[in-house]
A and B are shown apart, each in its own frame.
Chain A
Amino acid sequence: MKATQIFQQLKLQFGDAILSTAEDKWPVVYVKAERLPEVVAHLRDSPGLDFDLLSSVTAVDYEDRFETVYHLRSLKEGHTLVLKVRVSRDNPVVPSLTPLYQSANLQEREVYDFFGIRFEGHPNLKRLFLWEAFPGHPLRKDFRYTTSISYAEPPEHEQAREL
C-alpha cells in the first residue's frame, strides 16, 4: 500500500488523533499520545495494513519536548511506517504498546531508563540497564556525567563538537 493511502485511511478513521503526516525516507505519522494504542491496534489488525512487526521503539530528547518513535513493518504487505508521539518534558507519560506488541516490553523499559518517560500500562516498568539508584536519566540532553568514582582527570564528552 502506498504511503498516501495509509495516511488517508488513518485520517478517515481517527480524525484529529493524527496530528500530521510527512513522507521523507519513511512515511511518518505524528499521533496524539492518548490515542496511540487505538491507532496502533488498527494498524496491526486491519486487513490491508497488517503491521505485525514492531521493529523499534526509541525516543529523542529535543530541547523543548520528547518524541517517542516507533518503527512498524508489515511482513505480509511489505510496507513500513514511522509513528512519532510528542510528549512534554515536565511530565512525560505515553501509553504503553506492550499489550499489543511484546517487542515493546524491553524497549520501553530501556526508554524509561534512559529518558524517564513513563509508559502507562507496562507490566514491569523498572530500570533495565542501569541500577535503581542511578542518579538521573543519562540520554537526556541536560544530564551531567556523575560517575560514582571520582577520577583525577574529568570525563571527555562533547569535545568533538569543536571540530
Chain B
Amino acid sequence: MSEDRPEVSEATPTAEDLKRMLTPAEEVPAEIRHNVLLTTVAKVVDPVYNWSRRWSMWPVMFGLACCAIEMICAVASRNDAARFGIEIMRASPRQADLMFVAGTVTEKMLPQVLRIYNQMAEPKYVIAMGNCAISGGPFAGSYSVVRGIDLYLPVDVYVPGCPPRPEALIYGVMQLQEKIKRQSILDVPWYGFGGEVDRTVAQDRRRR
C-alpha cells in the first residue's frame, strides 16, 4: 500500500507550488465554466438575443473623412444598408450600437473618438473602416495621424479600402453579424460573467 502513495516532500508547499498544483493542465471548456442553470438558460436566450441584436445595429452618426462619404452612400440610395438593419444613424452615441471609425484619426481628434466610444452604451461594436482607421493609411508617416484606431479601441471588424466601396462596408457589417451570431451572453465582457475583449492585434504594434 505504501508504494501506491505518491512522493510528497516534507517541506510546506510554497505559493508557487500551490499555484502549480491548482492550475488545471487543460483549458476548462466554456460549457462547464459556469453552472448548469446558466448555460441552459444561455442556450435558449442566446439565439434570440443575438438575432435581434444583429439585425438592428444602429450606428452613431460619426464620420471623419473621405470614408464617411462612402458610409453615407452605403446607407443612401443605391446601397441601402437599411435592408441589413442599419435603419437610422443615431446622432447621439448613447442611443447607438455600432461605431464606424470612418476616416483618418488625427491626434487632435483621438480624445473625442474615445469620448464618443465611452459614451456608447453596451453592447457596442467598432468597425474600422478604411485604411486610415486600420493603420494610418496613406497618411501613416505624418506627425499628427494616429496609426490605426485599434491602438485605442477594440475593433471588431476591419474593412480595408481607400475608401472601401459601400458594398465592402456592408460586407463588413455582415461579418460583424456573423461574429455576433457566435457570441454568447456568458462570454461577452459587458454582463460581468468574465469575458474579455480581444486586443491581440494592437499588442504587437504598440511599443512598450
Taking Cβ atoms with an 8 Å cutoff, the residues of A that contact B are 130-131, 138, 143, 145-152, 155-157
* The one of B108, B141, B142, B207 that contacts A150, using a Cβ cutoff of 8 Å: B207
* The one of B141, B146, B207 that contacts A152, using a Cβ cutoff of 8 Å: B207
Contact with A along B145-164 (1 / 0, CB 8 A): 01100010000000000000
Q: In the complex the two chains form, is A147's CB within 8 Å of B143's CB?
A: yes
CA distance A143 to B143 in the complex (A): 10
CA distance A14 to B142 in the complex (A): 43
Residues A152 and B143 in contact in the complex (CB < 8 Å), given A131-B108, A147-B107: no
Q: In the complex the two chains form, is B141's CB within 8 Å of A156's CB?
A: yes
Chain B: residues with Cβ within 8 Å of the partner, total of 14
Question: Shortest Cβ distance from B183 into chain A, in angstroms?
Answer: 30
Q: In the complex the two chains form, is B143's CB within 8 Å of A151's CB?
A: no
Which residues in A have their C-beta under 8 angstroms from that of B205?
A: 151-152
In the complex formed, the residue of B with least CB distance to A159 is B141
Which residues in A have their C-beta under 8 angstroms from that of B144?
A: 130, 138, 147
Residues A151 and B206 in contact in the complex (CB < 8 Å), given A130-B108, A131-B108: yes
* The one of B107, B108, B142, B147 that contacts A151, using a Cβ cutoff of 8 Å: B147
Q: In the complex the two chains form, is B151's CB within 8 Å of A149's CB?
A: yes
In the complex formed, the residue of B with least CB distance to A155 is B141
Across the A-B interface, the 10 shortest Cβ-Cβ residue pairs: A156-B141, A152-B207, A150-B207, A155-B141, A145-B143, A157-B141, A138-B143, A152-B205, A131-B108, A151-B147
Q: In the complex the two chains form, is B207's CB within 8 Å of A148's CB?
A: no
Contact with A along B169-208 (1 / 0, CB 8 A): 0000000000000000000000000000000000011110
B65 at the interface (CB under 8 A from A): no
* The one of B140, B143, B146, B206 that contacts A156, using a Cβ cutoff of 8 Å: B140
Query: Can you name 18 extra interface pairs (CB under 8 A) apart from A131-B107, A149-B151, A152-B205?
Result: A131-B108, A138-B143, A145-B143, A146-B143, A147-B143, A147-B144, A149-B107, A149-B146, A150-B206, A150-B207, A151-B147, A151-B207, A152-B204, A152-B206, A152-B207, A155-B141, A156-B141, A157-B141
CA distance A130 to B107 in the complex (A): 9
Q: In the complex the two chains form, is A148's CB within 8 Å of B140's CB?
A: no
Question: Shortest Cβ distance from A131 into chain B, in angstroms?
Answer: 6
Which residues in B have their C-beta under 8 angstroms from that of A146?
A: 143
CA distance A145 to B204 in the complex (A): 22
Question: Shortest Cβ distance from B135 into chain A, in angstroms?
Answer: 10
In the complex formed, the residue of A with least CB distance to B144 is A130
Which residues in B have their C-beta under 8 angstroms from that of A150?
A: 206-207
CA distance A130 to B109 in the complex (A): 11
Query: Which B126-148 residues sit within 8 Å CB-CB of chain A?
Result: 140-144, 146-147
Which residues in B have their C-beta under 8 angstroms from that of A143?
A: 143
